[in-house]
Chain A
Amino acid sequence: MRTRALVKRIIRQFIRDKRTLAMMFLAPLLILTLVNLVFSGNDYDPEIAVISSQEQMASQLEKADKSFTIYENKTLAAEDLENEKLDAILEINPPTTKITLEGSNPTANKAVMMTVEKTLKSLTPKNNQQTSMETEVTYLHGSADMESFDYIGPFLIGFFIFFFVFLIAGVSFLRERTTGTLERLLATPMRRWEMVAGYVLGFGIFTIIQSAIIVSFSIYVLDIMMAGSIWFVILITLMLAVTALSLGTLLSAFAKNELQMIQFIPLVVVPQVFFSGLFNIETMADWLQPLSYLMPLTYGGQAIRDVMIQGGGWPEIYDEVLVLAGFSLLFMILNVLALKKHRKL
């Protein structure tokens, strides 16, 4: 009952504060769009040579997508690939499929792989076992280890949700203290856990909306690679937001004003960027690596990637989701304890 009153109040306050709403919902979209522009530019139309012993297959491919061109001669194709007139050569000689990528442009590589995969899938009847046909990928230049927006995008979605929710929730809870309303609430029979629960639920409603907007925008507008289910991504980002929410309200207990709350960003938020997997953790010093296990974003980022890039489902992400739930619960309990500083009961 008391928690519900708190939830209702938070919703009303939020709706009045249009600018904060905009920061929560629109700022991540703006930044994601910028990063997307920086990393991927326009949609890339690959040029792919098709060399096949099966003429019917080759012409089907050519018809299916304008990227494909039939080459009779392998030497000529290799020459065009070297001169960057082609992005890849696709050789289909059942039972093997061989793709040779030019390889220096990650965007082109990705475009080739997606076009080939999509086209082959559409050409192969669903009940045909040939889908399991082995594909061998070789690179003329470069390698498969590359970064592009598809790779960092899932991580950035998690990061921006974490960052903005952490900041807004932290400052709101802090303001409750600096304006004296926390003390006023403590003079009521409201229990400390009811207060923490009220905050998590009240803000939680807005983080659901935020997650849905950011994830949908990334997938449908920025056209980020999405192999799995959008619902799983929303679930993970929501868990990540709740973690950020509980951490932000907890840490606000240790800040005296808004400026001190902002000082937590380099201490708490920025390290997560370095240790949570956006940068390669395996190449860091051994003693630094375990730090990544302490970062909520490690689990969130990994889980979002599992779904968006690898098409993972519940079996792949449940452990990360549980760890995030654990983090949230821990922060909430600590917050209930931290409020003891203000009232013993």
Chain B
Amino acid sequence: MTSVIDVFDVSKNYGSQHVLENISLNVKRNEIYGLLGPSGAGKTTLVKMIAGIETPTNGRIKVLDTDMPNLHNMTRIGFMAQSDALYVELSGKENLEFFASIYGLKGQKQKERIEHAASLVNLTDYLKRPVHQYSGGMKRRLSLAAALLHEPEILILDEPTVGIDPVLRQSIWNELYKLSDAGTTILVTTHVMDEAEKCGQLGMLRDGRLIASGSPQQLKESTASATIEDAFLYYGGVRNEN
């Protein structure tokens, strides 16, 4: 399996504030990689740098063997931000049309992709409504649909399931598995420990450092923990003792 996201020794400072320190990780093709950590750990900053929105202070990031940020690569990445970046005056369909056009999708192809993405997130019946009438969960789903429109090779999702009900969360995860089987690499951040178990690979992030990485199974076994939460506490504790 080839590596599609490579992060080499990346640090990020905002002024004197160190947000991320010496992060190295890589994500292989088809993998679902979960970044687990409490809020404020630096998850969002890390995925933004991988998506090419931010640039690292030190170190480098390669996506699909190209240094980021790179405009061409951005057409191969789907990004769903933590906040729902939607135009609330417009209808769901108009939002999707806008994002689709930006990725160069037009005509029949655009229509098909919008229908497909909307049906994936169960929004087909609500597309004509203005987004300001949407519930929080519907907005999250519309954001996800917008990230899927251009069939990206890499999908970066920042806290995709916040505020979504368990049934729908399950169906979104099923969809992510399907995309992964079809060849999409998925990088997802979460602060929900049980959700982390659904990922193929995990990186545990705390106070700007990657404290552990591996498959959920490995992480639990090597720390003799019953749950991911225990494993996280174990690694977090080790770091505190140092």
Contact = CB atoms under 8 A, between A and B. Distances in A.
B81 to A, nearest CB: 5
Interface string A161-183: 00000000000000000011101
A187 B152 CA distance: 12
A9 B94 contact: yes
Interface in A57-98: none
A345 B102 contact: no
A344 interface: yes
Q: How large is the interface on A (under 10, 10 to 19, 20 to 34, 35 or more residues)?
A: 20 to 34
At the interface, is chain B mostly helix, strand, loop or mixed?
Answer: loop
Contacts of A8: 98, 101
Nearest to B104: A1
B23 interface: no
Interface stretch (A188-196, A245-253, A330-338): A188-196
A189 B103 contact: yes
Contacts of B90: 9, 12-13, 16
Given A1-B101, A183-B81, A188-B103, A345 B69 contact: yes
A9 B94 CA distance: 8
Given A4-B101, A13-B90, A344 B85 contact: no
A184 interface: yes
A143 B96 CA distance: 65
B101 A344 contact: no
A184 B81 contact: yes
Contact of A17 (B71, B85, B89): B89
A190 B55 CA distance: 17
Q: How large is the interface on B (under 10, 10 to 19, 20 to 34, 35 or more residues)?
A: 20 to 34
Given A180-B83, A189-B75, A16 B103 contact: no
A5 interface: yes
A180 B84 CA distance: 7
Contacts of A188: 74-75, 99, 102-103
A181 B102 contact: no
B52 interface: yes
B53 A183 contact: yes
A342 interface: yes
A187 B71 contact: no
Contacts of A181: 85-87
B72 interface: yes
Interface string B126-155: 000010000000000000001000000000
A105 B82 CA distance: 66
A186 interface: yes
Nearest to B85: A184
A343 B72 CA distance: 14
Interface in A1-58: 1-2, 4-6, 8-9, 12-13, 16-17
Contacts of B75: 188-189
A180 B85 contact: yes
B70 interface: yes
Interface string A285-304: 00000000000000000000
Contacts of B231: none
B81 A190 contact: no
Contact of A187 (B74, B88, B101, B104): B74
B102 A2 contact: yes
B214 to A, nearest CB: 28
Contacts of B87: 9, 13, 181
A23 B90 CA distance: 20
B36 interface: no
Given A343-B52, A345-B69, A180 B81 contact: yes
B85 A191 contact: no
B188 interface: no
Given A180-B85, A187-B77, 18 more contacts: A1-B104, A2-B102, A5-B98, A17-B89, A179-B88, A181-B85, A184-B79, A187-B79, A187-B81, A188-B75, A188-B99, A188-B102, A189-B72, A189-B103, A191-B71, A343-B52, A343-B54, A345-B69
Interface of B: 48, 51-55, 69-72, 74-75, 77, 79, 81-90, 94, 97-99, 101-104, 130, 146
Query: Shortest 5 CB-CB distances between A and B: which pairs?
Result: A184-B85, A5-B101, A187-B79, A180-B83, A16-B89
Interface of A: 1-2, 4-6, 8-9, 12-13, 16-17, 179-181, 183-191, 342-345
27 contacts: A1-B104, A2-B101, A2-B104, A6-B102, A8-B98, A9-B87, A12-B89, A12-B90, A12-B94, A13-B89, A17-B89, A180-B83, A184-B85, A187-B51, A187-B74, A187-B77, A187-B79, A187-B81, A188-B75, A189-B72, A189-B75, A189-B102, A190-B102, A342-B53, A343-B52, A345-B69, A345-B71
